[in-house]
Amino acid sequence: VVMAATRSVMRAVRVFEFGGPEVLKLQSDVLVPVPKENQVLIKVHACGVNPVETYIRSGTYARTPALPYTPGSDVAGVIEDVGEHVTAFKKGDRVFTLETVSGGYAEYAVAAANRVFPLPDKLNFRQGAALGVPYFTAYRALLQKGCAKAGESVLVHGASGGVGLAACQIARACGLNVLGTAGTEEGMNVILRNGAHQAFNHRDPNYTERIKEYTGPRGVDIIIEMLSNVNLDADLQLLSCAGRVMVVGCRGRIEINPRDTMRKESSIIGVSLFLATEEERHECATAVLDGIEAGWLKPVVGLEYPLEKVAKAHEDIICSSGAQGKMVLLL
């Protein structure tokens, strides 16, 4: 099997230079990778598209891969082959990943076995591609780093995207009072259907005043922030005493007054899934699989693109007027 795999080729997106969406090149003669020890080869059915992949592609991200490379980490598909010492999976198993070794925007992807998890039968591959980064990030932000407790309130900024909807579902299941923002009427409806008690339109110039009216003098305990370079200063005004802003996403710099943190002893906490320990990833996976089993965790799939339209997907995830679920590539 391995010999055949080394000779066969596949379609995959390759990046030979950092730059705009146009540097994403779909090639049809890329060698199918071979799994090494403790790795698996997955036949990809769907792959999630994350904003961070656009930052990496542009060359502006803190960690850049060696060129050329294939982007993509959130893969859902079927195990095609396993490397030595892999006992948890066998050929034919339905799985989803948190990250890949060879890149997910491809017909086949290699991943470390400990970054691969069983995909429950009640979810399809599109939904499977919406699990890894969004739900693990949301769980890490809310519970591992944000120490959210039942009865607290959480404001999810940009709640209609992949991470945002994951945060709404998890927060609601954990007994929090969930507020969310979105940029469109449809986005607000999606949030309300997925765990938010209250939705606000962040295109309304007075939306922060409306949030203050809703929370009263107490303020909000946790803010899950996807665009901290725009919102962080305003976030600090919305927090309760000992409130915390979880910085999940950022596209640049912002000026804040540190005195705002002293006034309420509030915290600004960065969140990076890449820094999670093995134990923390295992905890995320357990919580996610339990949520699927219990029925409250249901990934919402948004726009879908064939691999040929990958450049358009990268454009849309940054420039679209408002997300409604997780963006996926279909293979």
pLDDT in tens, 188-220: 999 999 999 999 999 999 999 999 999 999 999
Estimate to the nearest angstrom the gap between the alpha carbon of 291 and the chain centroid. 17
173 and 66 within one domain? no
Q: Are residues 116 and 197 in the same domain?
A: no
Is the pLDDT at 3 greater than 70? The verdict is no
**CA–CA separation, 271 and 282 (whole Å):** 17
Provide the CATH number for the domain around residue 251: 3.40.50.720
238 domain-assigned: yes
pLDDT-derived band at 7 (thresholds 50, 70, 90) equals low
CATH of the domain at 58: 3.90.180.10
- Region 43-52: mean pLDDT is 95
Do 38 and 166 lie in one domain? The reply is no
Same domain, 161 and 123: no
30 lies in a domain? yes
Does residue 174 belong to any structural domain of this protein?
Answer: yes
**Within a domain: residue 22?**
yes
Of the two residues 324 and 231, the one the predictor is more confident about is 231
Q: What is the pLDDT of residues 131-189, one digit of tens each?
A: 999 999 999 999 999 999 999 999 999 999 999 999 999 999 999 999 999 999 999 99
- 255 & 145 share domain: yes
In a domain, 283, yes or no: no
What does pTM read for this prediction? 0.93
Q: Is the pLDDT of residue 246 over 60?
A: yes
Say whether both 87 and 166 belong to one domain. no
pLDDT at 6 over 80: no
Domain count, the chain: 2
DSSP labels, 122-181: TS-HHHHTTTHHHHHHHHIIIIIIT---TT-EEEETTTTSHHHHHHHHHHHHTT-EEEEE
The DSSP string of 200-222 is: EETTSTTHHHHHHHHHGGG-EEE
Does 244 have pLDDT greater than 60? yes
Same domain, yes or no: 74 and 171: no
Q: Do both 107 and 149 map to the same domain?
A: no
Let me know whether 266 and 166 are in one domain: yes
Range of the domain at 113: 9-130+299-330
Q: Per-residue pLDDT tens for 84-110?
A: 999 999 999 999 999 999 999 999 999
Mean local confidence (pLDDT), 22-30 = 97
Q: Kindly state whether residues 62 and 166 are assigned to the same domain.
A: no
- What pLDDT was estimated at residue 5? 46
Eight-state DSSP code of residue 66:
P
Average pLDDT, integer, range 244-263: 96
For residue 3, tell me if it sits in a domain.
no
> How many whole angstroms separate alpha carbon 241 and alpha carbon 166?
26
What average pLDDT does range 112-128 have in this prediction? 97
